[in-house]
A and B are shown apart, each in its own frame.
Chain A
């Protein structure tokens, strides 16, 4: 009962702050359109987001591709439809697993770090200090991170798409006795531009969500070390919830046409 109450409170507070978050995000984006631009800071966020998340995202993708191959084989061998496995791995990795799992991973890795960094800057007056030095913290801190999220996660997810399918291939050929050439031919035959586009669009949206939650909760944190801890938790929890919610919405939009 308590857990359900906590979940309810989380969802309610998320809805309650939704307006403030959207305004915060729009203000951040508007700074991307007006100089000065902080290319150096964007680059640093981008490298942190894309390059340093690569190992985590890669491992997640490979293992989930492997698991999908194994699960669908045990499930479908009863119906003798094992040739469909290449297709199942492809669709589930590209449409769902790669963007969602990569999004959740970077929410834990990058989103948490953003919230902690900005939160610490807030409670140690560094954000105020920026303003006294003729620098807009929204432009200096938030805008580069939003752009980094928007651009970095699609890149990561493309890599995750390939590696996830590769993980499935590994299990299918090494363990389940598929012929490598046939498996690859099947995969290429099922490959579909729309699925890849969906994958990348989801990634871009999730990237923005991760950066926005990290920045929003960090920027608005109060109350010392405890406040920074709470901001970090909120950033990860709400980014995760929003990623799953938007995953549904985007899938619905994409296939209802």
Chain B
């Protein structure tokens, strides 16, 4: 058991990950490495299992088989406290932000700090204001409730909440879906800034090509439960892979036939 990961050990390492819901094989053998300090984007159609992949990493969905390692440690082989400690360094931005609507914005942002480190509420409030500043929101937003915010602001708050835990690993589930293109570009910019500033390892999921190019160093395409292509994010538009080509150029005809029934 290695306590300190050696150089070269990927921050996140996934091997043979499989998950089925009933008869539907959603993930069918995923192998994925994300090197420390890099950003990976996974693209794929709606319902292709992108969110399930993130939920497996977060431990919200129990995989049927396969391993998930963080810092070279297999999550399944650790005891509960160690696993929780590893997962505590993961920040997650959910698809619809998933802010707690019964709590004001600042408590949303400081939630993990309050739950974990036992900081005082006054300290937590100060930290929350700092985090909000990092995503371009004024401290007065802290007193509002999530329902009073626009979708773009909710995404910013969700991002502030995700990085509040230190942001060593950040997961993003379709960060720009549902936003207008300008707001999408702004959120992408914030994400890229945060990842760079914090030196985070990031795994983002999207079906927005512009977003993929802005956030990712490397990219992979999920189709039929497998990663059918991996490469540099810059190559997405001319990857030479017919499936990626069809997806990125939004063509109706090609190797991918959209499933009309789940």
How many contacts between A and B, using CB within 8 angstroms? 46
Contact present for B112 and A134 (CB under 8 Å): yes
CB of A132 within 8 A of CB of B115, answer no
Interface status of A9 (Cβ within 8 A of chain B) = no
- Chain A contact residues: over half helix, strand or loop, or mixed? helix
Expressed in whole angstroms, the Cα–Cα distance for A130 and B99 within the complex equals: 10
Once A131-B58, A133-B112, A134-B116 are accepted as A-B contacts, the answer to whether A124 and B96 lie under 8 Å apart by CB is yes
Contact between B96 and A135 (Cβ–Cβ < 8 Å)? no
In the complex, whether A125 has a CB less than 8 A from a CB of chain B is yes
With both beta carbons as reference points, the residue of chain A lying nearest to B162 in the complex is identified as A132
Query: When A134-B84, A134-B112, A134-B115 are in contact, do A129 and B92 touch as well, CB less than 8 Å?
Result: yes
Question: What's the minimum C-beta distance from B165 to chain A, rounded to whole angstroms?
Answer: 8
A134 to B111, CA, bound (A): 9
Q: Is B95 an interface residue (CB 8 A)?
A: yes
Question: Does B59 interact with chain A (Cβ within 8 Å)?
Answer: yes
Q: Assuming A128-B58, A128-B60, is B88 touching A134 (CB within 8 A)?
A: yes
Which of B84, B88, B100, B165 contacts A129 (CB under 8 A)?
Answer: B100
User: B94, A125: Cβ atoms under 8 Å?
Assistant: yes
Shortest C-beta distance, B223 to chain A (Å), equals: 24
For residue A213, give the distance in angstroms from its CB to the closest CB of chain B: 21
In the complex, the answer to whether B98 meets A124 with C-beta atoms within 8 Å is: yes
- Are B98 and A125 neighbours in the complex by a CB distance under 8 Å? yes
| Any A CB within 8 A of the CB of B12 | no
Contact string against B for A residues 69-111, beta-carbon threshold 8 Å, 1 for contact and 0 otherwise: 0000000000000000000000000000000000000000000
| Complex contacts, A134 vs chain B, CB 8 Å | 84, 87-88, 112, 115-116
Residues of chain B contacted by A121 (CB below 8 angstroms): 100
Q: Which residue of A lies closest to B88 (CB)?
A: A134
Q: Which residues of B contact A132 (CB under 8 A)?
A: 58, 60, 87, 90-92
Asked whether, in the complex, the Cβ of B116 is within 8 Å of the Cβ of A129, the reply is no
A132 vs B111: C-alpha distance when bound (angstroms): 10
Cβ–Cβ contact B116 & A131, under 8 A = no
Complex CA gap A117/B100 in Å reads: 11
Q: Which chain A residue lies CB-closest to B102?
A: A117
Q: Does A126 contact B (CB under 8 A)?
A: yes
Contact A128 B55 (CB under 8 A): yes
Q: Which partner residue on chain B sits nearest A132 by CB separation?
A: B92
Measured in the bound complex, the distance between the Cα atoms of B98 and A125 in whole Å is: 5
B116 closest partner in A (C-beta): A134
Of chain B, the residue at the smallest CB distance from A117 is B102
B94: chain A residues at CB < 8 Å are: 125, 128-129
Q: Are B90 and A125 in contact (CB under 8 A)?
A: no
Give A246 to B60 CA distance when docked, in angstroms: 35
A123 to B, closest residue via Cβ: B96
- Per-residue CB proximity of B26-55 to A under 8 Å, as 1/0? 000000000000000000000000000001
Contacts of B95 in A (CB 8 A): 125
Hey, which chain A residues are within 8 Å of B100, CB to CB? 121, 126, 129-130
A130 contacts across to B, CB distance below 8 A: 100
- Which residues in window 7-52 of A have CB below 8 A to B? none
CA–CA, A117 and B102, complex, Å: 10
Of A125, A126, A131, A133, the most chain B CB neighbours within 10 A belong to A133
Report yes or no: A128 in contact with B98, Cβ–Cβ below 8 A.
yes
Question: How close is A237's CB to chain B, nearest CB, in angstroms?
Answer: 26
Q: How long is the Cα–Cα vector from A133 to B55 in the complex, in angstroms?
A: 14
- CB contacts under 8 Å to B, within A118-161, are 121, 124-126, 128-135
A129 and B173 alpha carbons, distance in the complex (Å): 12
Kindly report which residue of chain B lies nearest to residue A131, judged by CB atoms: B60
Residue of B nearest to A41 (CB): B102
CA of A135 to CA of B114 in the docked complex: distance in angstroms?
Answer: 10
Q: Report the Cα distance A30→B161, complex, angstroms.
A: 29
B-binding residues in A (CB < 8 A): 117, 121, 124-126, 128-135
User: Can you identify 9 A-B contacts, CB atoms within 8 angstroms?
Assistant: A125-B94, A128-B55, A129-B99, A129-B100, A130-B100, A131-B58, A132-B91, A133-B116, A134-B115
Identify the 3 closest CB pairs spanning chains A and B, nearest first: A125-B98, A133-B112, A129-B98
Interface residues of B (CB under 8 A from A): 55, 58-60, 84, 87-88, 90-92, 94-96, 98-102, 111-112, 115-116, 161, 165
Q: A134-B84, A134-B87 are in contact. List 19 more A-B contacts (CB 8 A).
A: A117-B102, A125-B96, A125-B98, A128-B58, A128-B60, A128-B98, A129-B92, A129-B94, A129-B98, A129-B99, A129-B100, A130-B100, A131-B60, A132-B58, A132-B87, A133-B111, A133-B116, A134-B112, A134-B115
